[in-house]
Amino acid sequence: MKNIITARDIISHDPCDDYPPELVRQLIGDGKTPLEILDLPIPAEDRIWVMTRPGMVPEHIQDEFARKCALSVIHLWNAPNVVKRFLETGDKSLLEASVDASWAAVRTVDAEQIADAAWAALWAADAARIADASWAAARAATAAAARAAAAAAERAAAATATAERAAAAERAAERAAAAAAAAERAAERAAAAAAAAERAAERAAAATAERAAAATAAAERAAERAAAATAAAERAAERAAAATAARAATATAERAAERAAAAARAAEREEQIQFFKKLLF
């Protein structure tokens, strides 16, 4: 194992564009031990990428890390027993049979996510032959990324549905506001009608008793319509308030779900880092 990993060692493996040579030199300085690499303030997947490059740590440590990555996704497919035994024990006598069984699984599965898991196990089993266990870790990381993408798609679909419901609630609130305005206008008309009825009643007092009774009945009906319009306006206002509260609750739930998903991804990466540290000790 290299006691000190230099910036030149890392640059020789062509890191991605996020790590130009000057940034690598800034991070690594005069060189760092493998444990110091694993503690760098960069994303966990980038630290793992460095440690799985050929020659950075002994091959048996890379092999063990690769087998752990493959085991973390083995539940996604019906792995043959010989593959499970090899991944759990690292017994080289099972290597050939494990490789053959993994290739057979890759040819027969249909689901993309299951195929990713089979590839991860295959490359872990073949790590000793190709002397590059980083391929196994990369395949396992691909499977994990596929699961994360599927979960993100589900959250996006849920967010879309929530947004649609929020838009519908907003339209309902607009309709409720329009209904409230209409009710207010109706109340004004009812008040005007009541005033007119009162004046009619006054005129009826001077007229015959029959005409007075008819005017009184008309005034009562106008008052009933005004009361009904007022009640409708109150119900519309209550629905608008409920819609506003629902939008606030939905936004809070979405933010909580996003924070939970980010925490889960960070925990998974940190678990891999801690396992690699354990192997180095």
Tens place of pLDDT per residue across the chain (281 aa): 557 999 999 999 999 999 999 999 999 999 999 889 989 999 988 998 998 899 888 888 888 887 887 787 777 777 888 888 888 888 888 878 877 877 666 555 544 544 455 455 555 544 444 334 434 444 444 444 444 444 444 554 555 555 566 565 567 557 756 655 665 776 677 567 667 767 765 775 666 667 657 767 877 887 788 788 788 878 877 887 777 777 877 878 888 888 987 888 888 888 888 887 888 87
| DSSP designation for 42 | S
Q: How many C-beta atoms lie closer than 10 Å to residue 207's C-beta?
A: 12
The SS3 assignment for 14 reads: coil
Q: What is the reported pLDDT for 175? A: 73
Residue 189, Cα to own-chain centre: how many angstroms? 53
pLDDT of residue 214: 72
What pLDDT shows up at residue 73? 76
- Residue 211: strand, helix, or coil: helix
Q: Which residues on neighbouring strands pair with residue 5, listed in sequence order? A: 32
Q: Please give the helix or strand (H or E) that residue 166 lies within, else none.
A: helix 134-206
Number of Cβ atoms within 10 Å of the Cβ of 62:
26
Residues 123/136, Cβ–Cβ less than 8 Å: yes
pLDDT attached to residue 263: 84
In the prediction, which pLDDT does 128 show?
40
Give every CB contact of residue 109 below 8 A, 6+ residues apart in sequence. Answer: 77, 115, 118
